[in-house]
Amino acid sequence: MKTGSLIIVGTGIQLVANLTLGAKAWIEQADKVLYALADPVTAKWLKELNTTAEALPYNTNNQRRKDTYREMTERILTEVRKGLNVCAVFYGHPGVLADSTHVAIRQAREEGFRAQMLPGISAEDCLFADLGLDPGRNGCQSFEATDFLIRRRKFDPTSALILWQIAMLGNLGFYKPGEHFRPLSILTEVLKTHYGSDHEVIVYEAAVYYPVCEAVIQRIPLSKLPESSVTQVSTLYVPPQALAPVDKEMMARLGMSVAKETTKEEVL
Ligand SMILES: C[S@@+](CC[C@H](N)C(=O)[O-])C[C@H]1O[C@@H](n2cnc3c(N)ncnc32)[C@H](O)[C@@H]1O
């Protein structure tokens, strides 16, 4: 194993309140800390924790943000190749919708360095808590919104649906406020065929500056989605449309007692 290592940690969503003790210890011990964070308060705190902390380059001159992420990965690996123990810090869970972190870990290992990712609290974890959604209740499907549309992802409307990056629909570049009205109409059109116009959906924003601010929870009929207030950090939650019926034959095969009018709710 070569000298030099990479650990990637997440700060969670709510300032430093979501940071694990494990992540904090790695930040403190690192020879070099690099970060990509969504708020300046956490960045300032990070610099107090480790004076080597430096922001990763976020070049918005690129046509595609994928190229910017590649530059971030390269910046991380440059420090590891110097033989330093590097801690890269990302907001949320560092492995959720964060291309550059997975690539950096793979590349570092391929080059013979120790590399590991620690889990963090993602926006989806905050959503579970704030909206009272238990993903084990009816199942939970989670897609990046553009991927959901362009790959025509198969999904089950009797199960919860979470769509990430709804403000970035069809956008391979960078966020521009107000550019999502037309793409959101297309998403609405697709969802309507499965749920109907009146189905209640939630445009969700976890409170970053907790406890000063509260989560933004907009409950609206699906038809109103294009006019709703959507920002770079909005995530869409589509509750199940109905309960899935149970397969009584399967229950019998599993040795479960089969009541005459069993619903899934009563079973589990
Ligand atoms: C590039 S992804 C980063 C996700 C992050 N790594 C995580 O673990 O949550 C950005 C997307 O995450 C979601 N997101 C980020 N911050 C959020 C917040 N405060 N509330 C709700 N969703 C958020 C939104 O869907 C946003 O478009």
Mean pLDDT in residue range 110-117: 98
Is residue 59 scored above 60 in pLDDT? yes
Q: Is 96 in the pocket of ligand 1 (CB under 6 A)?
A: yes
Q: How far is the CA of 202 from the centre of ligand 1 (A)?
A: 15
CA 168 to ligand 1: nearest atom: 27
Distance CA 29, CA 11 (A): 16
Name the percent of the chain lying above pLDDT 90.
Answer: 87
CA of 84 to the centre of ligand 1 (A): 30
Answer yes or no: is pLDDT of 266 > 80: no
The finding on whether 203 has its CB within 6 A of some atom of ligand 1 is no
Higher per-residue pLDDT: 254 or 266: 254
- The H or E element spanning position 55 is strand 54-55
Region 111-136: mean pLDDT is 98
Cα-to-centroid distance, 122 and ligand 1 (Å): 7
Q: What is the pLDDT of residue 221?
A: 98
CA separation for the pair 213, 109 (Å, rounded): 40
- Residue 92 bridge partners (DSSP): 12
Task: Determine the distance from the C-alpha atom of residue 17 to the mean position of all C-alpha atoms in its chain, rounded to a whole number.
Answer: 17
Helix (H) or strand (E) holding 219: strand 216-221
pLDDT greater than 80 at residue 188: yes
Cβ–ligand 1 distance for 204 under 6 Å, the answer yes
Catalytic center residues = 65, 69, 91
Q: Whose CA is nearest to atom 27 of ligand 1?
A: 165
- Ligand 1 touching residue 165 (CB < 6 A): yes
For residue 263, is pLDDT > 60?
no
